[in-house]
Chains A and B, each alone.
Chain A
Amino acid sequence: MAHALHIRGLAKSYGSKPVLGPIDLDLEPGTITVVIGRSGCGKTTFLRCLGGLEVPTAGLIRIGDGTVRRAEIGYVFQEPRLMPWLTVSRNVSFGLSGRPARARGQAVAEALALVGLPQAGSLLPKQLSGGMAQRVALARALAPGPALILLDEPFSALDPFTREQMQDHLLHLHRHYGTTMVMITHDMDEALTLGHRIIVMAGPPGRIAGDVAPNLARPAERNASDFIECKRRLAGLISKRPEGGGRDHSPQLSGLT
């Protein structure tokens, strides 16, 4: 089976200053991969390269079997970035143009119901709270049924309660759509709650400093001893300065449960 995402030698420089890579990575279909690392380590540049918002200086990115078009990637930004002049429904259908009206209506209703906003379709973005707006942004990314969803710290601007709710929503959506997801965060609880696989990034230039499959119970129990142990080791990986950009596969982490 083809990898959902196949990356070889991905690198990005601004002028003579390298900010990312080279990065090699393969992701399995239907998994959530969390990229974690300190601010400024190159995580966002990595994701923007995947989403086509930055042009890589070198390397290969293949999504699915290689025939995936840009429009088949969903992207959720740190801020909701809704079109303020469109209602919630029309924002969610933003990526659905070209489909028959009935299919569009169905996809919008389904996505809004899944993010818990079935009644909000006729509201304007200015009438939404921050958490609601970000749920609409999630629905917008999911409604077209993309092959891959990229999420750039989507919940970092939200308060801790809303953030946990949003993580539940995301897992619920993942169960429903089964979409491959790559998500950036700097929150270790979030990484361990959501990630089938956690890539620790260090930099700049951004390199993979650790690659972990926590294999924790789902939904995650944050007070459980294995969760706490995983978090402790993850913290160690993040704070470690990689020498020569080498990778730490930490097999002991993947075999915890």
Chain B
Amino acid sequence: MSPSRWTRPALGLIVPLVLLLAWQIVAGAGLVPASMLPSPLLVVHTLVAMAQSGEMADAIMATGTRLALGFVLGAGAGTVLGALCGVSSIARALLDPLMQSLRSVPSLAWVPLFILWLGIFEASKITLIAVGVFFPVYLNLMSGIANVDRKLIEVGQVHGLSRLHRLLRIQIPAAMPAYVVGLRGGAGLGWMFVSAAELLGATNGLGFILDDGEQTGRPERVVAAILLFGLCGKVTDVVLAAIGARLIAWQDTAAA
């Protein structure tokens, strides 16, 4: 019997629930010291306390603002350069080799340079996030536009479309699926880099709670922050996926 519409999501909950139960038993029975592994109940308690004190909202706001700014900058630059290199083979020949080499620099390796250039406050963090977001957006849009089916381009040719109209009416719409993949990948990397940036030195945000929990020996705060990161990351991905699905509803895919 294949899982139905309702049993399939339920199936996905079984393993996490079993793990959660095991975690509660192990931690509750004191098999692992509480300074290493807090019980789930303690984590929930911490989350409730953080929500009530307003700390949670403040932290999510701080982290979300950094991410949003970095995402807008990185995705914006990735969109402009990706479109340019996708359309123009000269721009591609000029810029793409450089982009490909910069891409192979692990993004965290930029941190010291960004701190030297931009200081230890917001600008360096946002720049780091933007760098993380930039590459997936750039790569997907560039290859999406450059690799549009020649057969569709010819339809534009026989209709006498100018280069600009060909871009607007054929290449950009055809590249949308790849672009949506790039944006989602960029947002995922954005979350990764915002946590790294905040771990490296911040006075607020979810990454600060992670660091603070470690420094002050409160693992329940670390676990709570991890859960919040996961939850927020999932929410942004679901939102982007929903927006993307509207943009590319025309795709003839098995998932549709």
* Chain A contacts to B: CB under 8 angstroms: 51-53, 69-71, 73-75, 77, 79, 81, 83-86, 94-95, 97, 124-126
* Separation of A75 and B152 alpha carbons in the complex (Å): 12
Contact A81 B154 (CB under 8 A): yes
* Separation of A124 and B249 alpha carbons in the complex (Å): 10
Q: Does B155 contact A (CB under 8 A)?
A: yes
* Separation of A81 and B165 alpha carbons in the complex (Å): 17
B158's nearest neighbour on chain A, judged by CB, is A75
Known contacts being A77-B151, A81-B152, is A53 close to B250, with CB within 8 Å? no
Closest-CB distance, B125 to chain A (whole angstroms): 37
* Separation of A124 and B252 alpha carbons in the complex (Å): 10
* Separation of A206 and B173 alpha carbons in the complex (Å): 37
Residues of B close to A94: CB separation below 8 A = 155, 159, 169
Residues of A close to B155: CB separation below 8 A = 75, 77, 81, 83, 94
Closest-CB distance, A250 to chain B (whole angstroms): 33
Closest-CB distance, B61 to chain A (whole angstroms): 37
Q: Does B157 contact A (CB under 8 A)?
A: yes
Q: Interface majority SS on A: helix, strand, loop or mixed?
A: loop
Contact A81 B151 (CB under 8 A): yes
Residues of B close to A95: CB separation below 8 A = 159
Contact B151 A79 (CB under 8 A): yes
Residues of B close to A126: CB separation below 8 A = 250-252, 256
Instruction: Please name 28 pairs of A and B residues whose Cβ atoms are closer than 8 Å in the assembled complex, sorted by A.
Output: A51-B158, A52-B157, A53-B154, A53-B157, A53-B158, A69-B160, A70-B160, A71-B159, A71-B160, A73-B158, A74-B158, A75-B155, A75-B158, A77-B155, A81-B151, A81-B155, A83-B155, A83-B170, A84-B250, A84-B251, A85-B173, A86-B250, A95-B159, A97-B165, A124-B249, A125-B252, A126-B250, A126-B252
Q: Does B189 contact A (CB under 8 A)?
A: no
Closest-CB distance, B202 to chain A (whole angstroms): 42
Q: Which of A77, A81, A86 has the most CB of B within 10 A?
A: A81
Residues of B close to A51: CB separation below 8 A = 158
Residues of A close to B157: CB separation below 8 A = 52-53
Q: Does B50 contact A (CB under 8 A)?
A: no
> How many A-B contacts are there with CB distance less than 8 Å?
52
Residues of B close to A77: CB separation below 8 A = 151, 154-155
Known contacts being A124-B250, A126-B250, A126-B252, is A83 close to B152, with CB within 8 Å? yes
- Sorted from nearest, which 7 A-B pairs have the closest CB atoms? A71-B160, A126-B252, A75-B158, A70-B160, A85-B250, A95-B159, A85-B173
5 A-B pairs besides A79-B151, A81-B154, A126-B256 with CB distance below 8 A are A71-B160, A81-B155, A85-B174, A97-B165, A124-B249
Residues of A close to B151: CB separation below 8 A = 77, 79, 81
* Separation of A95 and B157 alpha carbons in the complex (Å): 11
Closest-CB distance, A91 to chain B (whole angstroms): 10
Contact B159 A83 (CB under 8 A): no
* Separation of A69 and B162 alpha carbons in the complex (Å): 13
Q: Does B232 contact A (CB under 8 A)?
A: no
Partner of A83 from the list B165, B173, B256 (CB cut-off 8 Å) is B173
Closest-CB distance, A147 to chain B (whole angstroms): 13
Interface string of B138-177 (1 = CB under 8 A from A): 0000000000000110110111100001000110011010
Residues of A close to B159: CB separation below 8 A = 71, 94-95
A95's nearest neighbour on chain B, judged by CB, is B159
B247's nearest neighbour on chain A, judged by CB, is A85
* Separation of A68 and B222 alpha carbons in the complex (Å): 72
Closest-CB distance, B244 to chain A (whole angstroms): 13
Q: Which of A52, A69, A84 has the most CB of B within 10 A?
A: A84
* Separation of A24 and B159 alpha carbons in the complex (Å): 26
* Separation of A207 and B207 alpha carbons in the complex (Å): 74
Interface string of B69-107 (1 = CB under 8 A from A): 000000000000000000000000000000000000000
Contact A84 B158 (CB under 8 A): no
* Separation of A97 and B162 alpha carbons in the complex (Å): 12
* Separation of A84 and B152 alpha carbons in the complex (Å): 10
B250's nearest neighbour on chain A, judged by CB, is A85
Closest-CB distance, B31 to chain A (whole angstroms): 56
* Separation of A66 and B125 alpha carbons in the complex (Å): 63
